[in-house]
Amino acid sequence: MEFQAAASPAPASFDAWLASVGPQQAAVAVGLLSLLEPTGACLAVKSMATGRYVYASQGMGELFGRAEAGIVGQADADLLRSDEVQAMRRSEQAALAQRAVVSSEHRLEFGGRRREFMVTRFPLGQEHVMALWSDKTEERHRETHLQRALQQLEQQQKSLEQMRRELQQGSGRDETSGLYMRAQFDDQLLREIDLSTREHREFTLVLIALDPSTAEATLGAEARQSLLEGLGRMLRANTRAMDAACRIGDDLFAVLLSGVGLATAHARMEQLRRQCHSQIVVLHGQDLGLSLSMGVASFPHTASRQEELLGAAEMAVKEAQRRGGNQVVLASIPFGLGG
């Protein structure tokens, strides 16, 4: 990479500063700048006494539409609008005053188009400020498009939940999740135990706990409700007609997988966990992140009584939470009952 330097540097010029640090350090400095150029970053050094650029990478000249002549010897007043010049000066003075790295964002107009830059400055003694320019225009555009998409998704989710509530009104289901409640779950569990005992078949009980979300710290109960609604949507969409998905506590859900063995149930719940983890649940334009802890127990291998089966699944859920959440844990099978 080649840098442009003033033809007749003054005693306080950047060339003089490079000479003052010694040839070895100067070579390292120029080498580091050369490594940054291919990343798309633009580099410049400005004299604070004159306000003119004394060093600039080729990218700086291209940025200002002066690829051949470059910008060495030019001042911001020659390149930018007056309001933009003032913002630049304030940031440079802040870097000098703090004697540390200072980053600031600047919106500049080039050829009638607004572009956004992150400029990181570092003082070189009292005479110069080095600046690293990074063009953030496309990144900001992508962020804006993503935010709009999230807002549209949030509106769709709210509309679906409102329609679902209206359709299920008076059905006896949980209003937030749209699932059956604890009374229906207890009845269904007793029926499954009776049926499986008479027909000598197995079924699986899965308990699901909603993991804490970092969004709750800022969005509170509203975030919790959105996550519960999202989990309800996922369970309704990923359980068969013969299965029973229920909300049995504030943050606890249960799924009865009729006629399904432990291995198959584990595979299905692992797939559900992954789908939920990748599911986007949006509130106020923010993805809340849906994370679940699951405990899987089977009848009759894990336990053959209602209380024991529930207790084993609860212990498995707590173990998943103890491991950090977002996991599926199999309940332990008592010695002598497996096989």
Per DSSP, 81 falls in state -
Query: Which are the contacts of 236, defined by CB distance < 8 A and separation ≥ 6?
Result: 178, 179, 245
Q: What is the reported pLDDT for 17?
A: 60
- Give the per-residue pLDDT at 43: 85
Q: What is the reported pLDDT for 337?
A: 46
> According to the model, what pLDDT value does residue 5 have?
45
pLDDT of residue 3: 44
Positive or negative torsion for Cα 71, 74, 79, 83: positive
HSE of 74 in the Cβ direction (CA atoms, 13 Å)? 18
| Cα–Cα distance for residue pair 29/41, rounded to 1 Å | 15
Residue 46 one-letter amino acid? K
Measure the N-to-C terminal CA separation of the chain; round to a whole number of Å: 70
Residue 114: name the closest of 143, 85, 135 by CA: 135
Assessment of whether the complete model's pTM goes beyond 0.85: no
Report whether the peptide linkage leading into residue 212 is cis, meaning its omega lies within 30 degrees of zero.
no
Please, what is the Cα angle at 63 between 58 and 69, to 5 degrees? 55
Task: Spell out, as residue ranges, where the chain has pLDDT lower than 70.
Answer: 1-37, 335-339
Are β-strands 327-330 and 292-299 bridged in parallel, bridged antiparallel, or unpaired? parallel
The phi and psi torsions of 42 (rounded to 5 degrees) equal: -110, 140
Q: Between vectors from CA 212 to CA 278 and to CA 244, what angle results, nearest 5°?
A: 65
Q: How far apart are CA 283 and CA 258, in angstroms?
A: 35
